[in-house]
């Protein structure tokens, strides 16, 4: 019994039961299966529960080759339930250089065991889509595409990484370069440089989408490349080919590689820093991406590359790594940032309290500032860079686009109330004021600043509450209500608070009543006087 493996045990159990149902004797079954009659008798007397116990004990008794790594596999599957057995195998080889030689089947069985034991079902994820492209000569073509993905950081946060892939069309040999800022013409050129160095040469043609990292414009097939990219293409000596928009089949190979990078290399990976991530990517290319048979050609890219590499054109360009172009800048309370002695506007609400930061990238290709959210590197806005100093660069819809009188009035109000948060009563009312009376916002906020600061903070806050409750967006009505509030305060005995409770007010005096028609006349009359 102990010499039988699990498969033979299960198989034997099934065959003996099947032959028993055919009314064969123990001797007939023994002769037919080539086993002893005692073995047949033992299996026949065994209940289903006893058989399951036998299988379990035999399974536990047998030493599993990857048993020592099951804790690591469990952590991988907890972090990313969609990982396949092939991805788990790659991560094992990455983290454990001394991993014993095991078959893919062994890895698959171990992953299934861990999933079942730890109740970690696989979460389905869209698989890679491959597009058939015509074969070409070795060394003839490569395809380029870009992707991005949000990763978890070692401290529990998130960071968006951006990457460029280049794949040789004939051999399917791949390269990937990652960075934590969006690609510009300069960094795209540098990624090409690294890819050609990795290949030990370059193809004659490289196929692209019509992307502004490479192109300034396109007019009926007449392409104008960015200065940086055009200079590099001329120096390196390859031919760029730009696809028609919305034609994935013309560049389907690189698009499939983008999905492969996202769903295999980056899936469940923890971000430490860019240097480590790119080192890990090179290891993944060697172990997996270029070492396993391509799903379309059924050939191993690394083996095909041995045929393609001698056919690549010579590449001898020298290039230094570009400086980090994204820098951190503080957001001012008026939703602006100071860059090279100029103020640039940001959308209302960008400022979220002391310490608010944004990432700024100077795009030299089009002389623009690109401003990003540091949490996920999503684009906030763009500005043309001013060649002058002391300028206020505005953009429609931004808080910073309002003139200095408005900004100063808002600053006075926020300082007086000490309310800088977007959800404060003052912020909400200013937004409502701007949304309802955008044409007269300047006058209204200026009047508010002059009115409020004539009161102590408690009285001013009560006046602000009155404006908000009555939805008063008219500067003249604000003046009327403030004047009447001041009259009431003067009429009150000195001992009374500015804001008395309703019971006290009702007991001591009755406020002067004014017909609502008078306010209607003010609201519907001329706003700017």
What's the rounded mean pLDDT across residues 175-182?
Answer: 90
* Shared-domain flag, residues 252 and 193: yes
Q: Does a structural domain hold residue 104? A: yes
pLDDT at 122 over 80: no
Query: What is the pLDDT, as a whole number, of residue 129?
Result: 43
Domain total of the chain: 5
What's the pLDDT score for residue 513?
Answer: 55
DSSP-assigned letter for residue 202: B
**pLDDT at 445 > cutoff 90:** no
Q: Are residues 157 and 287 in the same domain?
A: yes
As to burial, measured by CB atoms within 10 angstroms (0-12 exposed, 13-18 middle, 19+ buried), residue 111 is buried
Identify whether 319 is part of a domain.
no
Confidence of residue 447 (pLDDT cuts 50, 70, 90): confident
- pLDDT value, residue 376: 67
For position 141, what pLDDT does the model report? 93
Average pLDDT over residues 13-36: 85
Q: Model confidence over 479-500: pLDDT tens digits?
A: 888 888 777 766 655 544 444 4
Q: What is the pLDDT of residue 293?
A: 87
Looking at the fold, whether 154 and 293 belong to one and the same domain comes out as yes
208 burial type by CB count under 10 A (0-12 exposed, 13-18 middle, 19+ buried): buried
**Domain-located, residue 151:** yes
Q: What is the mean pLDDT of residues 2-19?
A: 69
Q: Are 165 and 290 in contact (CB under 8 A)?
A: no
Chosen domain end from 400, 432, 461:
400
pLDDT at position 441 over 50: yes
**Same-domain status, 178 and 293:** yes
Q: Which of 49-63, 216-230, 349-363 has the lowest mean pLDDT?
A: 49-63
Q: Per the domain annotation, does 358 fall within a domain?
A: yes
pLDDT, residue 164, reads 95
**Residues 6 or more apart from 399 whose CB is under 8 A from it?**
334, 335, 336, 345, 346, 347, 348, 350, 407, 410
Per-residue model confidence (pLDDT) at position 498: 45
pTM above 0.85, yes or no: no
pLDDT band (50, 70, 90) for residue 143: very high
Clarify whether residues 169 and 303 are in a common domain: yes
What is the three-class DSSP state of 439? helix
Question: Would the pLDDT of 258 be above 80?
Answer: yes
Nearest to 362 by CA among 354, 353, 370: 370
Q: What pLDDT is stored for residue 311 in this prediction?
A: 95
* Rg of the Cα atoms in the chain: 36
| pLDDT number for residue 203 | 96
Question: Could you tell me the residue range of the domain that residue 281 belongs to?
Answer: 141-311
Instruction: Mark which of 61, 77, 108 sits at the end of a domain.
Output: 61
What average pLDDT score do residues 518-522 get? 54
Q: Express each pLDDT in 332-386 by its tens digit.
A: 877 888 888 788 889 888 888 888 989 888 775 567 888 988 776 678 998 988 8
CATH code assigned at 301: 3.30.420.10
Give a yes or no: residue 125 inside a domain: no
The pLDDT value given to residue 297: 79
Residue 134 lies in a domain: no
Burial of residue 107, with CB atoms counted within 10 A of its CB: 0-12 exposed, 13-18 middle, 19 or more buried = buried
User: Both 494 and 408 in a single domain?
Assistant: yes
- Structure-token match 């730009």, residue found: 242
Q: What is the mean pLDDT of the chain?
A: 79
Tell how strand 392-393 and strand 342-345 pair up. Answer: parallel
Report the percentage of the chain scoring pLDDT > 90: 19
Highest-pLDDT range among 168-182, 240-254, 361-375:
168-182
């Amino acid at each position: 019994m102990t010499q039988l493996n699990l498969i033979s045990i299960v198989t034997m159990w099934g065959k003996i039961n099947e032959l028993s149902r055919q009314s064969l004797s123990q001797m007939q079954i023994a002769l037919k299966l080539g086993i002893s009659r005692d073995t047949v008798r033992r299996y026949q007397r065994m209940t289903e529960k006893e058989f399951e116990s036998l299988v379990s004990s035999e399974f536990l008794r047998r030493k599993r080759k990857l048993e020592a790594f099951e804790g690591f596999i469990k952590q991988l599957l907890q972090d990313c339930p969609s990982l396949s057995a092939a991805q788990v195998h790659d991560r094992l080889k990455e983290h454990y250089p001394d991993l014993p030689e095991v078959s893919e089947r062994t890895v698959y069985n171990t992953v299934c065991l861990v999933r079942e034991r730890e109740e970690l079902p696989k979460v389905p994820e869209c698989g890679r889509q491959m597009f058939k492209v015509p074969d070409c000569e070795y060394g003839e073509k490569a395809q380029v595409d870009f992707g991005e993905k949000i990763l978890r950081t070692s401290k529990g946060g998130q960071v968006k990484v951006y990457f460029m892939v280049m794949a040789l069309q004939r051999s399917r040999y791949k390269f990937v370069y990652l960075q934590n800022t969006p690609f510009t013409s300069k960094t795209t050129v540098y990624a090409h440089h690294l890819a050609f160095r990795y290949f030990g040469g370059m193809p004659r043609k490289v196929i692209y989408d019509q992307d502004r990292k490479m192109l300034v414009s396109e007019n009926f097939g007449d392409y104008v490349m960015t200065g940086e990219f055009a200079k590099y293409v001329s120096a390196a000596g390859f031919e760029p080919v730009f696809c028609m928009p919305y034609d994935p089949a013309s560049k389907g190979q690189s698009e499939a590689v983008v999905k492969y990078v996202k769903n295999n290399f980056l899936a469940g990976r923890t971000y430490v820093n860019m240097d480590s991530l790119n080192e890990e990517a090179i290891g993944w290319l060697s172990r997996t991406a270029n070492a396993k048979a391509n799903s379309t050609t059924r050939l191993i890219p690394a083996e095909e590359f041995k045929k393609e590499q001698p056919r690549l054109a010579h590449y001898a360009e020298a290039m230094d790594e570009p400086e980090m172009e994204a820098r951190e800048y503080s957001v001012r309370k008026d939703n602006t940032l100071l860059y090279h002695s100029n103020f640039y506007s940001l959308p209302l609400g960008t400022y979220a309290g002391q310490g608010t930061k944004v990432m700024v990238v100077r795009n030299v290709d089009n002389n623009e500032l690109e401003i990003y959210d540091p949490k996920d590197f999503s684009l906030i806005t763009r500005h043309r860079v001013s060649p002058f100093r002391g300028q206020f660069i505005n953009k429609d819809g931004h808080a910073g686009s309002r003139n200095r009188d408005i900004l100063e009035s808002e600053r006075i109000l926020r300082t007086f109330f000490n309310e800088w948060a977007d959800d404060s009563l003052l912020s909400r009312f200013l937004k409502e004021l701007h949304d309802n009376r955008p044409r007269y916002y300047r006058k209204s906020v200026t009047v508010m600043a002059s009115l409020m600061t004539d009161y102590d903070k408690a009285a001013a806050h009560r006046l602000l509450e009155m404006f908000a409750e009555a939805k008063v967006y008219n500067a003249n009505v604000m003046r009327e209500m403030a004047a009447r509030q001041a009259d009431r305060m003067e009429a009150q005995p000195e001992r009374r608070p500015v804001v008395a409770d309703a019971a006290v007010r009702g007991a001591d005096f009755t406020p002067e009543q004014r017909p609502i028609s008078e306010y209607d006349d003010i609201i519907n009359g001329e706003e700017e006087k």
